[in-house]
Structures are given as structure tokens and as C-alpha cells.
Chains A and B, each alone.
Chain A
Amino acid sequence: MRTNRALRTPGGLSVRLDVRATVVVALILLAALTASVVLIGTGDYPIPARDVLKTLFGDGNAGQEFIVNELRLPRVLVGLLVGASLGLGGALFQAISRNPLGSPDVLGLSQGATAGALTMIVLFSGSAGQVTTGALVGGLVTGFAIYLLAWRRGVHGYRLVLVGIGVSAIVTAINGYLLTRSTLTEASQAVVWMTGSLSGRDWTQVWPLLWLCAVLVPLVLVNGRGLRMMEMGDDVSNALGVRVERVRLLLLVAAVLLTAAATAAAGPVSFVALTAPQLARRLTRSPGPNLLASLCMGATLLVTADWTSQKVFGADQLPVGVVTGVLGGVYLLWLLVTERRAGRI
């Protein structure tokens, strides 16, 4: 397959089309939707895929309609949106920090959101909604603190990672302190939240995430070109006409918002933000941040992981974060073996 093709319009405009990347994105998206349909059909009351589709298009019986539209669809939508936000946020962080390990866990964002959630759980015995708000505030505050602390005549990728590690250590300590000060009931609630879970998510979580994604995803994709230039270094991209610091600030804010919102909705699900961009890059084999492919990949990963956890451990026995953690470990081992065989590391 030729990977690049130029589309020319009669008016003299031309667009470069990466065929392989486009096909891959379409396939991943298809995988995400298939997994979603299967996931909706999975549970204590299994529904065949055909009936799920029929119900989704408004043609099912009343019982299935309730189960699908009220109970399982919002959960799956939260899964898709959270996965997509984490995948896109992870791709942005990795591109901005120029480091394949520059994921929200390493930079301390997840820990910051956790601190916010734990504060609500432990100090205020907050409701689910308050915990979500706390996580959102915690994630945002941490994100902007990292940016401000890393700012010194611009934000250098390496400094961002280092400052993130420092902030992450501080916030982890605070989280440990809060956990030791809580009652056991609060602690077990906190641990489930900290693992990342999709159970019991409903439409109130879907709408804010959906609006946020609707605004941020196009904004990020439009600015993705600049990001691709920036991989060549600040000076080169300046010379190529990219306003480096502005694009970086904009994309960083977007990444922080996406990650914080996703973490607030589902908890700090590990490894999706780290692996989705890497897998996407390997599948598309195209340079640059692969934003759209990472987004779709994140959604696929999270929904598949949730399905796996339900299949392996039974419905709602263990939260999805356990599976993503183990999957992440397996992925890294696979990476280790294949890269070694290929002689690249």
C-alpha cells in the first residue's frame, strides 16, 4: 500500500492523505464500536448483539430498552469518552514532553486528581458527585501547578517531566497520608476509586464529558499540525512558522482538561494514556503525534478492558483499572520481546 497520496481539487488546492493512517483509524474506530456493542450485551442479563443494535436504533422491547439505554449505554459511553480523552491526552503529553513515558501518571496529574477525590472522600465524606468535582479540581490545579513550575522562558519538555515527577511525589505523599487518616470504609471506597472503575456510571457523567470532547477534540486536531513540526525542535518549528509557545500552552491546557475530566469520571485508569499513543503509532507507522489514531485506540482499549474484566472476574467484581494495569504490563513485555528480536533496543 502506498502510504501517502496527494488529493488535488480542480481549484489548485491539494491535501496530503496518509492512506495507511486513515485505514487504521477507520479500523480502530470499527473495533471500538464493535467492542461497545458486545460490552452492552454483556452482563448478568446477556443480550445478543443483534438485539443490542436493534434497541440502540429504537426498535427493541421495553425490558431491553431499559437495560440498554438506562443502565449499560451510559457506562459504555463513559468508557468510550474516557478512553478517547486519555488516549488523546496521552498523545499530547508524550508529544509535548518529547518522551514516550510522558503520561499523566508520570507527570502527577492522576495523583493530583486522586488527591482531590481522596480529600472529598476522607475529609468531607462526600457524595459521588462531590468526589467527581474534587477529582476535577485536583487534576486541574495540579496540571496548572506543573505548568507554572516548569515555566522558565518557555516550557522545556525535559523540565516538564522532571517537575511532574517532583509534584507527583509530593501529591502521592499527601494521598498516602489521607489514606492512613481515613476509616477502613473510606479507605476501601478510595482504593476502588484509585484503581479506576466504570461501574455505576450514568448519563450525568456522559454529558459533561461529551461536551468537553466536542469542544476540545476539534481544537486539538486543528493545532496538531504545529505539534508535528514541534517534534523537530523549537528552533526549527519557529523557523517553519509555528508559534511554539502558544501552540504548546493551548495543547497542554487541552491535555490537562481532557485528562482531568476523564479521571474525574472514571478514576485514574492506568496505562491507557501511556499505551494508546504507542500502539497507534505502531499501527499507523506514521511519524508525528497520531492524535486521531491515539484517540480511537484509547477508546477501544478501555472498552475492551472493561469487557475483559467482566468476562474474567464476573460482573462488577473488579474495576477496569486492574485489567488495564495487567494489560499494560503484558503490552510492555511484548514490546520488550519484539523490539529485542528486531534488534532495536
Chain B
Amino acid sequence: MLVDSPPEQRAETAPAPPTRRAIRVLGLFVSLAVLVAVGVASIAIGAKGLSVAEVWHGLFHDTGTYGDVVVADRLSRTVLGLLAGAALGLSGAVLQALTRNPLADPGLLGINAGASAAVVTAITFFGVTSLSGYVWFAFVGAAAVGALVWFLGGSRGATPVRLALAGTAISAALYGYLQAVMITDDQALNKMRFWTVGSLSSASTSTILQVLPFLAAGSLLALSLARPLNAMEMGDDTAKALGANLNRTRALAMLAATVLCGAATAACGPIVFVGLMVPHVVRSFTGPDLRWILPYATVLSPVLLLGSDVIGRVVARPAELQVGIVTALIGGPVFIFLVRRRRTAQL
């Protein structure tokens, strides 16, 4: 994982009392352990079940046995799930801080709509049919819409409301276009109905290598923004008084979120709920400090994504349920439970 810079170091500067800090550090390690366990499960569980020993053998002493081949095959899927999950969680957390809206998700800024519109264009007008061929289209579409939203939102003078409004507007127009194309072109509809649910099954080493540089750069950028975003959450005036550069922080946050979400969407299709839910849930036990929210979201989002992927492979064996579907079916009820349990006025 890209993102596990030592939590102790952050803790030194955190104002939280030592016991709470210790609990948070411990919690982060526990989350990491859970993530490793889910990762192993993701390699071991499938149409052919493997033992942990066989997984170990395949990962570190690959001699080409049947089990080793299965491990290699599932490894790329697991790695993509890890990367995409972390990226979606991080971008969601950054966007929620940027828009000061606990319900912001990459869909709100039009990034999913941009990727979808680009993919449908690729299918209908450029005759692209392979999943790996969509990647660049989706990424460029997401990035273009991200930039457009940024400029329509007022670029240097962007405020949370303007950004959200610009994103919703662009999404609406693009979804109109998307539907028009799908109604008139059966071929596009046939491809899009599988792409839009979001799936890890197209994972391959080449897909991962295509998106990896963007994910790495985006994650580093996002994590480096924790402090200025923290300042911005207190309101523009306070943030200015504290010495934050509002325009630069907003531009960089928008850039990080677009790159992360765009790359993840390009690789696996629009998986919407992870970026909304995980940061929202994380916030309920870390509090509003982004220096904790960002690492936790990075670790816990892939847990949700990979866990959902494993479940999707188990319940419909030997076929599989796409990860985007399972994520929402699991995440939705959890989200509702949390909303009911907490006093929402505190959000």
C-alpha cells in the first residue's frame, strides 16, 4: 500500500490526548491487519478454493503448480481492488472536506458522468470494444469533466456550493447524452450495462500498470493536503487567518480527487458508494481531523471493496456478482444503520 506513512509521526503533532491517540494508532494497525486478511481471502476464495498455505506458496515460491497459476490470476484482481478501493476512499474523503459536505462523493463533481460519457463515446463513435481500451477514454473523460467543473465553479474563486452545482449540472447534461446514445445504439447499451455496475473482473497487470502512476501521485498529493484541508474545514476566513492558501488548496484537492477517482473509475467502472460511505463512517469515530480520516479511509475502503468482491464471487458461484452491486447491497444497510444510530444534527 502506498499510503501507510508511519502513524506515530502524525500522532506527535496531533492535539488529541495520548490515550485517544494510542487507540487511533492501534485502530489503524487493526484495520491494516483486517485489510491483509481480506486480501488473502480475496486470493484464496473463488470458484476453486485455496488454503492459506497454497496462497503463501503461490505468492512467494511460485513454481508453476495449478494453485500458483490461480494465485497469480487472482493476485492482479486483488491488487486492483486494493488500489481502486484506497483511491475511491481517499478521493471521497478529500471531496467531503473540499466541499464541506459529508455527502459529497466523486459522482457529485461529475467525475463518474464524465468517465461514463467518454466510454459510451468510445464504444459508439470509435468502435472500442475491449475493457482495457476503455481505460484511457474513461480517465480522460473524468479528468476533462473535473477540469470543466473547476473552471465553471469559478476556478480561483471556487466555493463548495459552486463546485457542487457545476458538477451536478454537468452530470445532468452528460447523463442525458449517455441515455440518448444508449437508446439509439444497442451495441453501446449492451457494453454499458455491464460497465456501469463496476467490476474488478477485467483486472490485468497491464490495466494496473496503466493507472498505477496516477493512483500513486494522487494518493501522495491527497495525503499531503490533510493539514490545509483541516484549516479550510473551519471556514474560509478562519483558514485564511491560519495562513492557508485557499485557492491553491482547493485546486490541489480537486486535482487529487479527480486523478484518484478518475483512475479508479477507468480501471473498474463507476463504483459509487465506497467514496461516499467509508469517509462518512470513518469520520464518526475519528472526528473531523483529516490527518486521521485520510489514512483510515485509505485502509478501510479497500476492505469494503475487496470484501464485497469476495462475497460477490461466493454467492453466485461459479459466476459472480459485480463488486459495485455487492458494495451497495452491503454498504447501503450499514449506512442506514449508522444514520439511524447517530444524531444526524451533528454532521
Report the minimum CB–CB distance from A275 to chain B (whole Å). Answer: 10
Say yes or no: is A170 at the interface (Cβ < 8 Å to chain B): yes
- Pair B176/A177 contact, Cβ less than 8 Å: no
CB-nearest residue of chain B relative to A332? Answer: B169
B47 interfacial by beta-carbon distance below 8 Å: no
Set of chain B residues within 8 Å of A161, measured between Cβ atoms: 103
Interface residues of B in 149-184 (CB under 8 A from A): 152-154, 159, 161-162, 165-166, 168-177, 179-180, 182-184
Digitize B79-103: 1 where CB-to-A-CB distance is under 8 Å, 0 elsewhere: 0000000000000000000000001
Chain B positions 169-220 with a Cβ under 8 Å from a chain A Cβ: 169-177, 179-180, 182-184, 186, 189-190, 193-194, 196-197
Whether a CB of chain B sits under 8 angstroms from the CB of A188 is yes
- B61 part of interface (Cβ distance < 8 Å): no
Give Cα distance in the complex from A105 to B168, angstroms. 13
- As a 0/1 sequence over residues 112 to 142 of chain A, the CB contacts with chain B under 8 angstroms (1 = contact) are 0000000000000000000000000000000
* A58–B336 CA distance with the chains assembled, in angstroms: 55
Pick the contact of A325: B165, B176, B333 (CB < 8 A).
Answer: B176
Residues of B within 8 A of A177 (CB): 197, 321-322, 325
C-alpha spacing A166/B194, complex, angstroms: 22
Q: Are B197 and A336 in contact (CB under 8 A)?
A: no
Whether, in the assembled complex, A333 has its beta carbon less than 8 Å from a beta carbon of chain B, the answer is: yes
A39 / chain B contacts, CB cutoff of 8 Å: none
Chain B contact patch, size range: 35 or more
Q: Mark A174-186, 1 if CB is under 8 A from B, else 0.
A: 1011011000100
User: What residues of chain B lie closer than 8 Å to A174, measured between beta carbons?
Assistant: 325, 329
Interface residues of A in 304-345 (CB under 8 A from B): 317-319, 321-326, 328-333, 335-336, 340, 345
Is the Cβ of A271 less than 8 Å from the Cβ of B172?
yes
The reply to whether the CB of A187 lies closer than 8 angstroms to some CB of chain B is: yes
Q: Which residues of A contact B127 (CB under 8 A)?
A: none
B325 and A176 within 8 A (CB):
yes
Which of chain B's residues have a CB closer than 8 A to the CB of A192? 183
A233 to chain B, nearest CB (A): 12
In contact, B324 and A176 (Cβ under 8 angstroms): yes
Contact yes or no, B172 A325, CB < 8 A: yes
* Residues of A close to B322: CB separation below 8 A: 176-177, 180
Q: Is the CB of B186 within 8 A of A325?
A: no
Shortest beta-carbon distance from B131 to chain A in Å: 14
| Contact assessment for A163 and B176 in the assembled complex, using a CB-CB cutoff below 8 Å | no
Interface flag for B14 (CB, 8 Å): no
A192 closest partner in B (C-beta): B183
Residues in A whose Cβ lies below 8 Å from that of B168: 332
Within the complex, what minimum Cβ distance (angstroms) separates A301 from chain B? 14
CB contacts (< 8 Å) of A219 on chain B: these are none
CB distance from B337 to the nearest CB of A (A): 9
User: Shortest CB–CB separation between residue B130 and chain A, in angstroms?
Assistant: 18
Asked whether, in the complex, the Cβ of A340 is within 8 Å of the Cβ of B162, the reply is yes
What residues of B have a CB within 8 angstroms of the CB of A159 in the complex? 339-340, 344
Do A191 and B182 have beta carbons less than 8 Å apart? yes
Residue of A162, A321, A323 with most chain B CB atoms under a 10 A cut-off:
A162
Known: A172-B328, A173-B332. A322 touches B193 (CB 8 A): no
The verdict on B264 contacting chain A, using a C-beta distance below 8 Å, is no
Establish whether residues B339 and A163, one from each chain, have CB atoms under 8 Å apart when the complex forms: yes
- In the bound assembly, the distance between CA atoms of A169 and B331 in angstroms comes to 8
* CB of B345 closer than 8 Å to a CB of A: yes
- Shortest Cβ distance from A231 into chain B, in angstroms? 17
- The answer to whether A270 has its CB under 8 Å from any CB of chain B is yes
Q: State whether the Cβ of B134 lies closer than 8 Å to any Cβ in chain A.
A: no
Q: Which residues of A contact B184 (CB under 8 A)?
A: 317-318
User: Which residues from chain B contact A149 at a C-beta distance below 8 Å?
Assistant: 336, 340
Q: A173-B324, A176-B322, A336-B152 are in contact. Are A163 and B179 (CB under 8 A)?
A: no
Q: Does A16 contact B (CB under 8 A)?
A: no
With both chains docked as a complex, state the minimum distance between the C-beta of A308 and any C-beta of chain B, in angstroms: 12
> Is B29 in contact with chain A by the CB < 8 A criterion?
no
Q: How far is the CA of A237 from the CA of B329 in the complex (A)?
A: 38
Residues of B within 8 A of A86 (CB): none
- With contact pairs A165-B103, A176-B196, A321-B179 given, residues A335 and B344 touching in the complex (Cβ less than 8 Å): no
Does B189 lie within 8 Å of A184, measured CB to CB?
A: yes
Interface flag for B36 (CB, 8 Å) = no
Is A94 on the interface with B (CB-CB < 8 A)? no
Question: Do A336 and B162 touch (CB < 8 A)?
Answer: yes
Are B172 and A166 interface neighbours, CB within 8 A? no
Say yes or no: is A144 at the interface (Cβ < 8 Å to chain B). no
Nearest Cβ in chain B — how far from A71, in angstroms?
22
Check if B296 is an interface residue, CB within 8 A of chain A: no
Q: Which residues of B contact A325 (CB under 8 A)?
A: 172-173, 175-176, 179
A195 within 8 A of B: yes
Q: Check if B182 sits within 8 Å of A162, measured CB to CB.
A: no
User: Would you call B328 and A158 a contact (CB within 8 A)?
Assistant: no
Q: How far is the CB of A100 from chain B (nearest CB, A)?
A: 10
* A8 contacts partner chain B, Cβ-Cβ < 8 Å: no
The reply on A246 being an interface residue by CB < 8 A is no
Select which of A172, A318, A345 is within 8 A of B183 by beta carbon: A318
Interface residue B347 (Cβ < 8 Å from any Cβ of A): yes
Alpha-carbon distance A302/B183, docked complex (angstroms)? 20
Report whether A173 and B172 are in contact in the complex, using a CB–CB cutoff of 8 Å: no
B293 located at the interface, meaning its Cβ lies under 8 Å from any Cβ of chain A in the complex: no
Contact residues in A for B173 (Cβ distance below 8 Å): 325-326, 329-330
Write the chain A residue with the least CB distance to B110: A329
- Min CB distance B292 to A, Å, is 22
With A326-B173, A336-B152, A345-B161 already in contact, the answer to whether A187 and B344 are too (CB < 8 A) is no
A156 in the interface (beta carbon within 8 A):
yes
Is B111 in the interface zone, CB < 8 Å from A?
Answer: no
Smallest CB gap from B169: residue in A: A332
Q: Which residues of A contact B347 (CB under 8 A)?
A: 158
**Can you add 8 more A-B contacts, CB < 8 Å, to A156-B345, A176-B196, A325-B175?**
A152-B340, A158-B344, A176-B324, A177-B197, A184-B186, A188-B189, A270-B176, A318-B184
7 contacts between A and B (CB under 8 A): A161-B103, A163-B340, A165-B335, A167-B332, A179-B197, A180-B193, A340-B154
Q: Which A-B residue pairs are the 8 nearest by beta carbons? A: A325-B176, A329-B173, A332-B169, A173-B328, A170-B332, A329-B172, A176-B197, A166-B336
